[in-house]
Structure formats: C-alpha cells, structure tokens
Homo-oligomer: A and B are copies of this chain.
Amino acid sequence: MNLKIKKSNLLAAINTVSKAVAVKTTRPILECILMEAKNGRIKLTANNLTLGIETFVEGTIIDEGVAAVSAKLFFDIIRNLNDSEVDIITNSDYRIEIKCEKTEFEVPYWDGTDFPEFPIVEKEKSITISQLGFRDIVRQTIFSVSDNENSRMMTGEHFEVKNNELTVTSLDGSRISMRKVSLKGDNSDINAIVPGKTLKDVVRIVNGGADDDVVIYFTDSHMLFEFENTRVVSRLIEGDYFKITHMLSMDHSLMVKANRQELMGCISRASLLIQESDRKPIIVKIKNNDIMYIRIDTNKGSFNDYIDIEKEGNEIVIGFNPSFIMDALNVIDDDKVNIYMKDSKSPCIIRNEESTFIYIVLPININVDAY
C-alpha cells in the first residue's frame, strides 16, 4: 500500500471512525483502524462489534493495499504532523511508514484478515432528517436513558415513526422524556430501540447543519446512518418498548407558567445543600398567589427562595429530586415553561403547548402537612 493524503483530511477521517474503536477488549484488532485502498478509493473502518463506522477519505493511491494500525497511535502521530501531505507506505516486514515533510515514523501494522466484517444492512426502511435536527432530538432526550444494564430496554431510546412524524422516547423508571418532530418527504414507519451509547457516539460525528441530511435505515436488528462519506452501523436493542400512552393523557389540576432561567437558578442553589448520602427532595409550594416557593432542609442547612409565576388551578405542595427537574429545564430552548401538576403523588409534566416535547417526572413522597 502506498498512499498520499492531506493531513487535515486524514485526521478528520480518523476522528470520525475513532468513536467505534474498542476501548477495553481481549481482541486487540478491535483497537485498530483498518485502512483499505482499492478500486480508486481509500476507506477507514473501525468496528467494536456494537458500533461500526466506515468513512472514505480523499487521497492518491500509488499502490492499493490493506493495513490495520493501532487507532490511538495512528491518531496521535497524524495529529502531531505538520499541516501538509502525508505518505503512508507499507513495507514487507509488517512496518508502515508515515512520512510528512522531514518527519518519518515507522510503526507495526497488521494485515487485517481478522478484522470484523462491516455488517450489511438492507436498505428497505429509512427516514431522512437534518443533521442539526437529529442532534437536537438526541440532546433533548438522552439524559433520561438509564445506564443500568440490568434493564436493557431502558438503556436505549425508542424511535417510532408514523405518518412522517418521528417520536423519540427515553425513560429510566423515575422520568420520561419525549420529543416529536415532523420528517421531510416520505418516510417508512419505524419501531426500534436504539442503544443510548450509539446515539451519544453518533451525535459527535454528525456535525452538519439544518441543510445537511442524514439518512437512517432500519432493519429488525440493525440501523445504518448514511451522511457525507460516512456510514455508521449499530445493533438495535430487541424487545417491545414500554407503553406510556396513559401517562401522556393524564389530567391536571394546576398549570404553572414559569421563567425557565429563574427556576433553574432557584433549583441549582437549592441543590447546593444536598449531600450524596442523603438525597432530600426540594419542596415546591404554590398557594393562592402567583408565587412558587422552593425550599429544602438538609443536614448542611436550609434554603428558602421563590419566583413569580403565572398560574391556573389549585394549590399544591410537592417534592422532587431537583436534578430530574434540572435535566429537563436544561435542554428546553424556550424562555418560559409550562408545568402541569395534579397532586403531591402524581407525576409532574413539563411540556410546550404543541407537545413537541414532554418531560414527565415522578414526585418524591413527602409529608405534605409539614410545609
């Protein structure tokens, strides 16, 4: 193999595939990046068996060939070269030369015969979404994915497409996040559970804007992202996702409109008094005026604060895990948020009027009469 590639192009390609390099593994080949030069194209691939990424990179092929190199070392070397043309040449004793201007590295490579095959995904069902839109949806739902591997389905996000509308849902037993978005053009109906880890990795390489699309193909067991010169394949999580329709149609006795930043300031201050060992709830109290009182009492001290709100409905005293409320407020883009509550034992719902986002948080049981 003998290639000439611009440093910046090569570095971008390594960056892209490196999200699929295995970190701790008993199969060292999974810590490598596979370079293939054939049929006039240069391709880089990484595959940790859950996620596989391949990307084509521009360059000149002098001799075709294949080589697998340590991903970490390859990345470190290329990153530290001058911004110029890089020569990549394999020689007969399994050493690969990496040359750039006056600099020459020579490191081992493997022939890649034991590198895993890139999975073939049937292109029957697909959706198309802008890259910016895809990143937004993931950002606004990924925080309530569970990291408890004992409940596999909770570690994923539900992707459901009906009538060209995508609904993405995640839940972890204490809360639910849901985002809806209209898709452009004609899209297949989809019902799939995507690993949260896949989504976290893919949003880091789907860098395009509102005018750049990503096409996502689904089979029963896999999904394939296609964008620019890159293809990402991930396994799906098997199973039927949780039914949560009844949670969404719940009635409420109180609707509060609050300034998002003010509410976040209040809750983050209250959180200062929380100790890891003793997770006390914050107490939200709304009486007959347009004020939301927030307090907390812990071993570290006590905190009282309030914010002005608009409200419709009954009075309430209710307790929350403050970080669950913060996680939702953090990803909402609106200045004002609508909060729907029923009583101290019923879930609280934060959503906009069109319900394009819905966050449901279970309350913490408190002695209401004490407040």
Chain A: residues with CB nearer than 8 A to chain B? 73, 76-77, 80-82, 95, 102-108, 265-266, 268-269, 272-273, 300-307
Contact = CB atoms under 8 A, between A and B. Distances in A.
B300 A73 contact: yes
A51 to B, nearest CB: 26
Nearest to A291: B102
A81 B300 contact: no
A303 B77 CA distance: 10
A171 to B, nearest CB: 30
Contact of A301 (B80, B106, B269, B304): B106
Contacts of A105: 269, 273, 301-303
A305 B76 contact: no
A274 to B, nearest CB: 11
Contacts of A82: 265
Nearest to A271: B80
Contacts of A305: 102-104
Contacts of A269: 77, 80-81, 103, 105
Given A268-B80, A272-B80, A107 B301 contact: yes
Contacts of A81: 269
Contacts of A273: 105, 107
A77 B304 CA distance: 13
A102 B307 CA distance: 8
Contacts of A106: 301-303
Contacts of A108: 301
Contacts of A76: 272
A325 B66 CA distance: 38
A272 to B, nearest CB: 5
A268 B82 CA distance: 12
